[in-house]
Chain A
Amino acid sequence: MDIFQYAFMQRAFAVGIMLAVIIPCIGVVVVLKRLSMIGDALSHTSLAGVAAGLVFGINPILGAIVISIIAALGIEFIRKRIPKFSEMSIAIIMSAGIGLAGVLSGFVKNAANFNSFLFGSIVAISDFEMYLVAVISFFVLLAFILLYKELFYVSIDERAARLAGIPVISINFIFTILTAITVSIAARTVGALIVSSMMVVPVACGMQFGKSYKQTVIYSIISAVLFTTVGLFVSYYAELKPGGTIVLVGVVCLVTTIIIKKLMGKSIS
């Protein structure tokens, strides 16, 4: 196939599939803890890091990671101080991040480069970025596997998890850092504006088929790999933007699955 003749497409597939494995791992916990908005807040705030990176000549993904971690810790900090209105902390950090991104973007000389982070540019990934994604994906996946049962219990019932002896505060802290890192590197591929949907849509699909938590995680990963692969093929041959195409493929598959399940349920009953 001519699509694989190009080194940029080979890199796009490699990076896309690595991210398709780790994003649902984080996404499943984000969804089950009902924290979908945090993914949105962190991805938008990561744009400030991208802009700062481009202005100061640092790699924008590294800039996004640093700013996302600071933002994630900021959300936790504010949440503890106003516990009765904890969702405000997400809005405050998101506003501050977007504001900062807006101001810094004014100093970015190459606007096209900054815009590529809004909707992703998986086909414009450098070798350094591919290796960075590989190393980060390895550590995020390792952390997810090692903390699998802890994250599961904390997601289902924090109080029972604490009574069982799980260090809930530390686990939540580590998970926040993992989320921030994953969101930042995913911003480069699918784009900061749609990264949270990439966290949620494959998990929603996985939940349609999974008969256990383990199966849900596996099906979510399979869904994400499928959406990414199909999305890249479609975007290449139809000359569409890859990030948006990947997410739209996911949404179409999800809606189709829900409709088929509903129809099958009706025909059985």
Chain B
Amino acid sequence: MEKIIEVKDVDFAYNDNLIFKGINFTINSGDFVALIGSNGAGKSTLIKLLLGELTAKRGSIEIFGKNPKDYDRWHRVGYVPQHGIQTINNFPASAEEIVQANLFNKIGLLRFPKKVHRQKTQETLDLVGMGGHSKDLIGNLSGGQQQRVLLARALVNDPEVLILDEPTVGVDDATVKSFYRLIKDLNNSLGITILIVTHDIARAHEHITRAFCLEKGTLVELTKEEVKMELKHKHHHPTIETKGDDR
């Protein structure tokens, strides 16, 4: 089984503020992993480390066997950002323009998209059920539809791994349900490895194969029983399932 992501003994601190210490985990090809933890636990920081935007204080991080800082084949990684909907909501762009933008490495610097790129964009929008909305202004779509456009953008390069940072924040319950079914389908039928940061363990648990919990500076992998315990805990503390944060 191919190792997609490997994190060994990683410490990270913002200035002197230690966020986490001695983090270890591996994500293998075909995994569907949920990363959970309360606000400010460092989930998004961990994603930034995986994407090479931050540098670990200690330890090593590898994505497809390479340090993210030196990695240059990011088209193998699909990324759906936190607050993505808020970013694109007021932007005057159509769904197909947003998706096609991510084909940059196939189109090339200073070059123009060709028919093959437009076809790929349409196929990807079809895949996420947004084929009929390709010409629509992004701001005129619902939150759930916008989220699918962002997913299509992440999928347009046929990535091997999808990293989703709190993708369902601010989206209604029925939409969240169908969004999870869609990414589970991508995981099953296309074999795409999934890493999803979420507060919504209740929605995610029926689809995931593994769950990591980042809390109080340490990361642990939860067993199925522990996930069930976590679900009960959430049931009694529903207020924890709130909005995402920037950390």
Nearest Cβ distance between residue B52 and chain A, in whole angstroms?
Answer: 9
Scan residues 150-169 of chain A and give those whose CB is less than 8 A from a CB of chain B: 150, 152-153, 155-157, 159-167
Instruction: Please give me the residue from chain B that is nearest to A164 by CB atom.
Output: B104
Question: Is the C-beta of A262 less than 8 angstroms from some C-beta in chain B?
Answer: no
Q: Flag if A212 contacts B92 (CB, 8 Å).
A: yes
Chain B residues with Cβ under 8 A from A156's Cβ? 87-88, 91, 93, 98, 101
In the complex with contacts A150-B109, A156-B93, A163-B77, A212-B135 CB distance below 8 A: yes
- Give the most central of A163, A212, A214: most B CB within 10 Å: A163
Question: Is the C-beta of B199 less than 8 angstroms from some C-beta in chain A?
Answer: no
Cα separation A146 to B136 with both chains bound (whole Å): 25
Instruction: Please give me the residue from chain A that is nearest to B136 by CB atom.
Output: A211
Instruction: Please give me the residue from chain B that is nearest to A209 by CB atom.
Output: B92
Cα separation A211 to B91 with both chains bound (whole Å): 10
Q: How many residues of B contact A (CB 8 A)?
A: 33
Hey, what's the 0/1 contact readout for A85-123 against B, CB within 8 Å counting as 1? Answer: 000000000000000000000000000000000000000
Chain B residues with Cβ under 8 A from A160's Cβ? 79, 81, 101-102, 153
Question: Is the C-beta of A230 less than 8 angstroms from some C-beta in chain B?
Answer: no
Nearest Cβ distance between residue B240 and chain A, in whole angstroms?
Answer: 27
Question: Is the C-beta of B171 less than 8 angstroms from some C-beta in chain A?
Answer: no
Instruction: Please give me the residue from chain B that is nearest to A214 by CB atom.
Output: B97
Q: Flag if A211 contacts B94 (CB, 8 Å).
A: yes
In the complex with contacts A156-B101, A211-B137, A165-B74 CB distance below 8 A: yes
Report B's interface with A, CB cutoff 8 A: 51, 53, 72, 74-75, 77, 79, 81, 84, 87-88, 91-94, 97-98, 100-105, 107, 109-110, 112-113, 135-137, 153, 157
Contacts A32-B91, A156-B93, A159-B81 known; list 8 others, CB within 8 Å: A156-B98, A157-B87, A161-B104, A164-B74, A164-B157, A165-B72, A211-B137, A212-B137
